[in-house]
Amino acid sequence: DESMEDLIHFAIAYEGVGHTDPDYYAMALIQNMIGSWNRLDATNFSNASFLTEVFAEGQWGGSKPRVHSYQAFTTSYHETGLFGTYVVAPTHPHHGIDYDLEYVTKAICQEPFKIAQRSVLAAQLDRAKAQLKAAILAHLDGTTPVCMNLGQSILTLGRTISPAELFMRIDAVSTKDIQRACDRFSEPSVVALGSTDAFSDYNQIARWSVTNLK
């Protein structure tokens, strides 16, 4: 596709959790800790994650960021789910190798392991809880989203859940819960579109996803 000649769009995802899984809220908090960033949105830095700080740096000391945007996502179904990160990045291959793209891909694969091992995990978790609760309240600002939330709760759980109960469940997530949930990520699913010539092959991405930072 000539319109995407210098860009790559890719997603790396793992099996997630269902709506009733004990790690449901831990996954939501991990999504928040991985975060999201878009170079066109200057407000992103107010909620900067570790990946945001890394990806927004200029390439080899230049002024261009390593990615145009990235976003962690988690989608839950009845018994399973999907957890991953979607990235849009420029490509600059040199003799078939794009070192920035390889750096970004490896960082995406290893971020869950790094979250589980960071000494600042407790502080990062507290910030993620506050941000998640704020996002929930913002989402419920209006009759339409409130009705949608009620319908979704009844369809997935068989009953409604109040914001107070949601907050209690979020607050109950511990650092050990986060570490256990991060350990569930194993074999990735990968999809890429655009300038993919220098994109890492599946076997390399799989190794980065299961070898704990090696």
Predicted pLDDT at 174:
95
Which residues of the chain have a pLDDT value below 50? 1-2, 4, 46, 60-61, 213-214
- The answer to whether residues 70 and 44 touch, using CB atoms and an 8 Å cutoff, is no
Q: What angle do CA 125, 51, 67 make, to 5 degrees?
A: 150
Q: Look at residue 137 in the predicted model and tell me its pLDDT.
A: 87
| pLDDT at residue number 48 | 56
What is the reported pLDDT for 97? Answer: 67
**pLDDT value for 214:** 45
Task: Give the global pTM.
Answer: 0.86
